[in-house]
């Protein structure tokens, strides 16, 4: 029989256990949209040493709730225990389930959460409900880390668009390819592995039609056994120039392919792509092709919270120019492409990111011969 009360942890133990809860939730990042990938631990401190008695992560497809899963595992051991959750418990989910009711009924003594719910309608309400019911609540533990893990959920709730990460493989002289279309930037296996992980952790990945025509990519996860974790593939293609024979379209039966077209796209091309398994989404025209803010809004309405943009130059320039790239990941390869190269930002210098006060470096690493630099937009 579990004891009725457990000891309260010190701040360092709280942070360590919250880091573990965040890692647990992160396992399903990219597979839970539109729900956040929540991680939950239920911990007892009877002997002074933390003992985890329940674990929960939002399952793929968000077919359950992390808190309910963790409470089910803990059973009676939840009475008097502490819950570590990567986001504020919800009073009522869309399916009618209530995290807060379940926590109160289970006899939880203390709830430690990393951040408030970013939904303007719900933010703070779950914590208040728990406090009213007599539970101790500590919030904001590892808040910055949680805001990164839940960046997609936050962006969709607060800005009505996905969180956008722009990835570019760039040569030493700031090029992403050669104007002849010839492939020059072959990243090493370490950078390739990192890109696969980025694809797994995103809901959708996007390119412009220029890249589809030049490189014929499939954009699937190319790790043996993990193809089903591939993101939805999205192409910006105003006039529907994408070939039904392209690798993207050929794989559309297995991994969804959405093509965002302008209002005047030819009907015959539309029918051919639909017949081949692609879904066509209409968007108004905007700067450089389709209207990017409108396209991003549409993706968010379809549940997309995290969007990886894999180029090319014009799409990258549009995103950066319109202030829509929240994160930028550059893989810098030690090759020089020369004057016939395609500039990473279609004419604009990369310093629009590298020297901009709007971006700060949050990670730098050598991946084989490639140097990866990750930037986050600060404003
Ligand atoms: N190194 C890397 O990481 C990397 C990654 C990707 C690509 N690349 C290279 O980049 C080159 C392709 O670059 P790219 O600039 O030609 O192609 P892109 O950026 O992939 O596609 C540009 C095209 O997308 C369409 N588009 C629709 N809406 C747009 C919008 N709002 N903003 C911008 N474009 C929009 C436009 O064509 P429509 O008007 O017809 O719709 C536009 O011409 C290739 O050489 C490729 O190999 C390198």
The reply to whether 165 and 215 lie within a common domain is yes
Measure 81 CA to ligand 1 centroid, in angstroms. 53
pLDDT, tens digit, for every residue of 151-161? Answer: 999 999 999 99
Q: What is the pLDDT of residue 5?
A: 54
The reply to whether 233 and 293 lie within a common domain is yes
Last residue of a domain, one of 95, 129, 152: 152
The reply to whether 129 and 172 lie within a common domain is no
The reply to whether 352 and 248 lie within a common domain is yes
Q: What is the pLDDT of residue 2?
A: 45
Number of structural domains the chain divides into: 2
Expressed as residue numbers, the domain containing 287 is 160-377
Residues of the chain with confidence (pLDDT) below 50: 1-3
The reply to whether 235 and 300 lie within a common domain is yes
> Any idea what the CATH number is for the domain that residue 288 is in?
3.40.430.10
The reply to whether 173 and 120 lie within a common domain is no
Contact 362, 353 (CB under 8 A): no
The reply to whether 20 and 77 lie within a common domain is yes
- 5 within a domain of the structure (yes/no): no
Measure 283 CA to ligand 1 centroid, in angstroms. 17
Q: Which residues line ligand 1 (CB under 6 A)?
A: 168-169, 176-177, 181, 185, 207-211, 214-215, 236-239, 241, 286, 288-290, 292, 310-315, 318, 342, 346
Q: What is the pLDDT of residue 351?
A: 87
Ligand 1 pocket test: which of 315, 321, 333, 344 has the largest number of ligand atoms within 8 Å of its C-beta? 315
The reply to whether 347 and 331 lie within a common domain is yes
Ligand 1 pocket test: which of 171, 314, 331 has the largest number of ligand atoms within 8 Å of its C-beta? 314
Contact 343, 171 (CB under 8 A): no
The reply to whether 88 and 55 lie within a common domain is yes
| Tokens matching residue 305 | 């919270």
pLDDT, tens digit, for every residue of 176-185? Answer: 888 887 777 6
Ligand 1 pocket test: which of 174, 180, 311, 317 has the largest number of ligand atoms within 8 Å of its C-beta? 311
Last residue of a domain, one of 152, 168, 189: 152
Which of 231, 228, 230, 234 is closest to 249 using CA atoms? Answer: 234
Helix (H, G, I), strand (E, B) or coil at 298: helix
The reply to whether 132 and 236 lie within a common domain is no
The reply to whether 181 and 104 lie within a common domain is no
State the burial class of residue 223 (Cβ atoms within 10 Å of its Cβ: 0-12, 13-18, 19+).
middle
Q: What is the pLDDT of residue 89?
A: 98
- 318 within a domain of the structure (yes/no): yes
State the burial class of residue 135 (Cβ atoms within 10 Å of its Cβ: 0-12, 13-18, 19+).
buried
Residue 354, H or E segment = helix 351-354
The reply to whether 339 and 219 lie within a common domain is yes
Q: What is the pLDDT of residue 311?
A: 85
State the burial class of residue 293 (Cβ atoms within 10 Å of its Cβ: 0-12, 13-18, 19+).
middle
pLDDT, tens digit, for every residue of 107-148? Answer: 999 999 999 999 999 999 999 999 999 999 999 999 999 999
Measure 317 CA to ligand 1 centroid, in angstroms. 9
Which of 77, 64, 86, 81 is closest to 20 using CA atoms? Answer: 86
- 3 within a domain of the structure (yes/no): no
Last residue of a domain, one of 119, 152, 185: 152
Measure 263 CA to ligand 1 centroid, in angstroms. 19
> Any idea what the CATH number is for the domain that residue 48 is in?
3.40.140.10
């Amino acid at each position: 029989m579990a004891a009725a009360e457990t000891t309260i942890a010190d701040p360092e133990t709280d942070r360590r256990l919250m880091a573990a809860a965040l890692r647990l939730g992160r396992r399903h990042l990219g597979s839970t949209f539109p729900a956040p990938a929540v991680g939950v631990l239920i911990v007892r401190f009877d002997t002074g040493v933390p003992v985890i008695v329940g674990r929960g992560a939002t399952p793929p497809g968000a077919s359950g709730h992390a808190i309910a899963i963790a409470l089910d595992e803990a059973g009676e051991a939840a009475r008097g225990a502490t819950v570590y959750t990567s986001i504020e418990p919800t009073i009522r989910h869309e399916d009618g389930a209530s995290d807060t009711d379940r926590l109160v009924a289970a006899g939880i003594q203390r709830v430690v959460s990393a951040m408030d719910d970013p939904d303007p309608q719900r933010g703070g309400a779950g914590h208040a409900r728990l406090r009213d019911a007599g539970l101790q609540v500590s919030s904001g533990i590892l808040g910055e880390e949680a805001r990164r893990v839940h960046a997609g959920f936050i962006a969709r709730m607060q800005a009505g668009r996905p969180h956008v990460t722009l990835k570019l493989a760039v040569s030493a002289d700031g090029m992403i390819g050669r104007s002849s279309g010839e492939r020059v930037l072959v990243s090493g296996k370490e950078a390739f592995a990192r890109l696969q992980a980025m694809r797994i952790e995103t809901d959708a990945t996007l390119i412009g039609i220029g890249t589809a025509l030049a490189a014929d990519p499939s954009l699937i996860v190319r790790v043996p056994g993990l193809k089903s974790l591939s993101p939805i593939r999205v192409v910006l293609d105003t006039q529907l120039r994408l070939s039904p024979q392209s690798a993207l379209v050929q794989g559309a039966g297995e991994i969804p392919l959405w093509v965002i077209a302008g209002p005047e796209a030819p009907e015959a091309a539309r029918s051919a792509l639909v017949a081949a398994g692609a879904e066509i989404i209409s968007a108004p025209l905007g700067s450089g092709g389709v209207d990017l803010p409108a396209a991003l809004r549409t993706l968010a309405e379809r549940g997309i919270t995290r969007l990886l943009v894999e180029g090319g130059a014009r799409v990258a320039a549009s995103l950066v120019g319109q202030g829509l790239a929240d994160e930028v990941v550059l893989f810098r390869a030690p090759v020089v492409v020369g004057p016939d190269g395609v500039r990473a930002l279609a004419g604009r210098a990369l310093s629009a990111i590298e020297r901009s006060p709007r971006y700060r470096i949050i990670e730098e690493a050598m991946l084989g011969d490639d140097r990866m630099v990750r930037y986050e937009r600060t404003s």
